[in-house]
């Protein structure tokens, strides 16, 4: 090679909107608290350290609008501090538990020290403001921020109502701009879900580029000369980047992927499932008998039998070895490619929550990866926008229908047990578009605007891909179905009130308090142009 290849690491940070002010403590709010503790704070810490030592590392980071809304919410911030306090007290009780063997007590001390560091970092260094910390990393060039659809709606299955797709994209753009002071160039398509023609909606919403799974480019017309290793332009002038299948397999494969190494921490074995209700009663929400705590004492080891004790130092050393393997594999791939006018580009996108939450050693892997790349002249880290500015596109294509997930063609979200969802979503979207378009003939009343905006929030929340992903699966299925049905019921109540039905002021206020995302939501995104 005569020039370095470009490596674009892309992390997509997203959680569904879960906020329950009607309960003092709600188990599913722990999804956010666990992700902040295990993934977002460690990621911020290692990126800030890389910037301080003047590393050349850069990555692209997608922050979903629902995640941003939750990170900015004072109620959830207060509850997160309470979560840290409860977890700290639980760890302290464990250190004094005479039933624990020395190895277990050593691990508890490891967790206590880690928790103390993260708490100090969150409160003292960041002032509890993760969004400002991400904005600072963008300002110093360490990250390039992008966004995704408003509530992570799965766009290929919303397309029968173009307004639904349009609103998901434009509400997201507005919220990103309000949060960071500028419009996003990049759009993470939820679940990498693409259908022909989507690029027109993307372009009209103001985005410049998207990312597709590998087969979205590999099966494109015409077949791209450089495969997934160069960005390409669509007829709508939206640029598409392709996911590298090799780097995806090295991380995601359940049998050979790095996170399955026997030295790494076992995710599924947790103190919260050991059945000690007396120990857990002050940590878990009332009425919950078993749930994850994040205190895990075993390593993967292998199989479903007895698990060996977790050894943090050995696991970190393995993460460093895997980071070197990852860079070496990218180097080999670059060596097999020969482009005359541009460096090959490897796009490696992952869920941000994988690194730390699902794969505990993930942040150590990224930290080691950064240090390896700082020493590697032939593998240069870039952001997607940076590569595009430097080298432009390598031609034009018509991408193919595609998604990531099982089988790669919508199947993860459209199954026999989820088909009913989309019938309701399509009907609701059509009714709401008609209602918004009729607004010109309605008396201009503040209460009507409030009702419509809250109905729009419920519609967007019902469209989240997270609900259909979990329906019929283990873990979270019942809660996700209840959230979906609740949002559809709220939508019906609110739109019925617009058409003359009854809703008390205190009911409307309560719904606005429960689903308080997108405070400046623009109803024009939900109707025909110029109708509002």
Q: Which of 120-134, 389-403, 410-424 has the lowest mean pLDDT?
A: 410-424
Average pLDDT, the chain: 94
Angstrom distances, CA of residue 211 to CA of 142, 263, 403 = 20, 33, 10
Cα separation of 468 and 417, whole Å?
9
Number of H helices, E strands in the chain: 19, 9
Cα separation of 177 and 532, whole Å?
22
Cα-based angle 235, 238, 241 (whole degrees, multiple of 5): 115
Mean pLDDT for 395-414 is 92
The separation between CA 520 and the C-alpha centre of its own chain, rounded to angstroms, equals 22
Torsion, Cα 308 314 317 319, to 10 degrees, reads 30
Cα-based angle 321, 324, 325 (whole degrees, multiple of 5): 85
Residue 515 has pLDDT above 50, yes or no: yes
Q: 532 falls in which pLDDT band (50, 70, 90)?
A: very low
pLDDT at 445: 61
Residue 374 has pLDDT above 70, yes or no: yes
Cα separation of 118 and 83, whole Å?
13
Q: Which of 82-86, 128-132, 477-481 has the lowest mean pLDDT?
A: 477-481
Q: What are the tokens at 229?
A: 């290793």
Domains and CATH numbers, the chain: 8-404 (3.20.110.10), 414-526 (1.20.1430.10)
Residue 442 has pLDDT above 60, yes or no: no
Cα separation of 46 and 495, whole Å?
47
Mean pLDDT for 124-137 is 98
Q: What are the tokens at 328?
A: 């070496």
pLDDT at 406: 82
Q: 275 falls in which pLDDT band (50, 70, 90)?
A: confident
Alpha helices of 336-445 — where are they, by DSSP H? Answer: 362-374, 384-391, 419-437
Mean pLDDT for 106-133 is 97
Terminal-to-terminal C-alpha distance of the chain: 57
Q: 441 falls in which pLDDT band (50, 70, 90)?
A: low
Cα separation of 254 and 268, whole Å?
14
Cα separation of 431 and 256, whole Å?
48
Give the tens place of pLDDT for each residue, 284-300: 999 899 999 999 999 99
């Amino acid at each position: 090679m005569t020039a370095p290849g470009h490596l674009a690491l892309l992390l997509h940070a997203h959680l569904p909107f879960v906020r329950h002010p009607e309960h003092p403590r709600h188990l599913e709010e722990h999804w956010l608290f666990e992700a902040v503790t295990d993934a977002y704070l460690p990621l911020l810490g290692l990126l800030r350290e890389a910037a301080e030592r003047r590393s050349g590392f850069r990555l692209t980071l997608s922050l979903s609008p629902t995640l941003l809304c939750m990170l900015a919410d004072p109620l959830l911030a207060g509850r997160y501090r309470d979560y840290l306090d409860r977890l700290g007290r639980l760890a302290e009780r464990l250190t004094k538990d005479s039933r624990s063997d020395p190895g277990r007590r050593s691990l508890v001390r490891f967790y206590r020290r880690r928790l103390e560091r993260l708490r100090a970092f969150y409160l003292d260094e960041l002032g509890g403001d993760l969004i400002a910390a991400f904005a600072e990393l963008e300002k110093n060039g360490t990250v390039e921020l992008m966004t995704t659809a408003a509530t992570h709606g799965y766009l290929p299955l919303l397309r029968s109502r173009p307004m639904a797709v349009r609103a998901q994209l434009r509400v997201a753009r507005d919220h990103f701009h309000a949060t960071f002071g500028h419009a996003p160039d990049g759009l993470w398509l939820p679940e990498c879900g693409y259908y022909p023609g989507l690029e027109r909606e993307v372009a009209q919403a103001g985005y410049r580029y998207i990312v597709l799974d590998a087969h979205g480019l590999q099966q494109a017309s015409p077949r791209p000369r450089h495969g997934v290793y160069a960005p390409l332009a669509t007829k709508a002038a939206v640029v598409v980047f392709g996911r590298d299948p090799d780097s995806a397999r090295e991380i995601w494969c359940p049998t050979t992927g790095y996170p399955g190494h026997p030295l790494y921490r076992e995710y599924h074995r947790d103190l919260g499932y050991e059945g000690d209700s007396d120990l857990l009663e002050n940590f878990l929400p009332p009425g919950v008998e078993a749930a994850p705590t994040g205190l895990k004492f075993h390593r993967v080891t292998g199989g479903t039998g007895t698990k060996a004790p977790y050894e943090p130092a050995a696991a970190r050393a393995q993460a460093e070895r895997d980071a070197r393997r990852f860079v070496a594999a990218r180097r080999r791939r670059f060596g097999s490619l020969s482009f005359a006018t541009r460096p090959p580009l490897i796009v490696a996108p992952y869920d941000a929550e994988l690194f730390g939450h699902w794969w505990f050693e993930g942040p150590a892997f990224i930290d080691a990866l950064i240090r390896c790349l700082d020493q590697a002249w032939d593998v240069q880290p870039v952001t997607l926008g940076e590569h595009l500015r430097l080298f432009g596109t390598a031609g034009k294509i018509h991408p193919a229908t595609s998604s990531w997930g099982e089988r790669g063609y919508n199947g993860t979200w459209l199954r026999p047990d989820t088909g009913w969802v989309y019938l309701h979503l399509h009907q609701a979207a059509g009714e709401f578009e008609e209602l918004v378009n009729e607004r010109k003939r309605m008396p201009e009343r503040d209460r009507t605007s409030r009702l419509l905006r809250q109905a729009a929030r419920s519609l967007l929340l019902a469209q989240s891909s997270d609900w259909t992903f979990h329906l019929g699966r283990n873990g979270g299925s019942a809660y996700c179905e209840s959230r979906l049905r609740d949002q559809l019921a709220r939508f019906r109540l609110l739109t019925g009130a617009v058409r003359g039905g009854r809703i008390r002021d205190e009911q409307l206020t309560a719904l606005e308090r429960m689903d308080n995302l997108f405070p400046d939501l623009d109803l024009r995104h939900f109707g025909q142009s110029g109708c509002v």
